[in-house]
Amino acid sequence: MTMPALFLSHGAPPLVDDERWVAELERLAGELPRPKQILIVSAHWEAAPLTIGATDSRVPLTYDFWGFPDRFYETTYDSPGAPDLADRIARLMPVGEEVHHDAERRLDHGAYVPLTVMYPDADVPVLQVSMPTLDPQRLLKLGQRLTELRDEGVLIIGSGFTTHGLPYLDDPSPTATPPSWSVDFDQWAHERFAAGDVDGLLDFAHRAPGMPYAHPRTEHFAPLFVTLGASTTIDAVPDEPIDGFWMGLAKRSIVVS
């Protein structure tokens, strides 16, 4: 069965305490076909060239955050590794293009936080790969190279955040009123998704209202382009099963066929 591809606004670890987000993500997972494996690209791992993460589930998670309660550093997610998927991805890259392997780099919070909600039994093999660039066009091409994995039962997930202007938040509480730059960017993204306007999304840094406040750095929007590239039809209109705001940030997420 052909799997869809997802772009998820993953949030910081405390997002698992948000009942609405958890319910939305659980519902989304329940509506998806069961994946044989999961391939995830997170905003929190940039490494060039493309780097394939650990395939040994005994490697500890990457707790790449600071200042949270101890319980968030005690989270485990012992999903099986996916060494065959790692080999498959390496073969899908263009001849002559270097691919690295990092046997010590396991899932970061952009990967495991949503997975603890979607697949809490940790019984689906998971592999994380790096973002080798923040360039939208190059990430779109990366997603296109990965598309055929969907026919093999692989769920491809780009994990970021639709807005991520942390330096510009006046009120960082979970129920804060979202600032205008977050609302405006989110509405623009929704309209671009509804129109299947990939060209507009690719040029978000110049066209989207709310910039650069919505993304002072673009790493949290960048995983979207791997997801869009993995679509079977590049201008397909995605489903948008999750929207709204958390801590003033837009958590809009999409599913592409």
Q: Are 40 and 62 in contact (CB under 8 A)?
A: no
Q: Are 162 and 221 in contact (CB under 8 A)?
A: yes
Total domains, the chain: 1
**CATH number of the domain within which 213 lies:** 3.40.830.10
Rounded Cα distance between 119 and 32, Å, is 11
Pairing outcome for strands 5-9 and 126-131 = unpaired
Residue 11 has which token pair? 């949030």
In order along its 257 residues, the chain shows pLDDT tens digits of 799 999 999 868 888 999 999 999 999 999 999 999 999 999 999 999 999 999 999 999 999 988 888 899 999 999 999 999 999 999 999 988 999 999 999 999 999 999 999 999 999 999 999 999 999 999 999 999 999 999 999 999 999 999 999 999 999 899 999 999 999 999 999 999 999 999 999 999 999 999 999 999 999 999 999 999 999 776 778 999 999 999 999 999 999 99
Rounded Cα distance between 149 and 249, Å, is 31
Residue 254 has which token pair? 């999409």
Residue 233: burial class (beta carbons within 10 Å; 0-12, 13-18, 19+): exposed
Segment (H or E) for 204:
helix 204-207
Q: List the Cα angle 53/133/57 in 5-degree steps.
A: 10
Rounded Cα distance between 88 and 182, Å, is 38
Q: Are 85 and 53 in contact (CB under 8 A)?
A: no
Q: Are 254 and 239 in contact (CB under 8 A)?
A: yes
- Residue 133, domain extent: 5-256
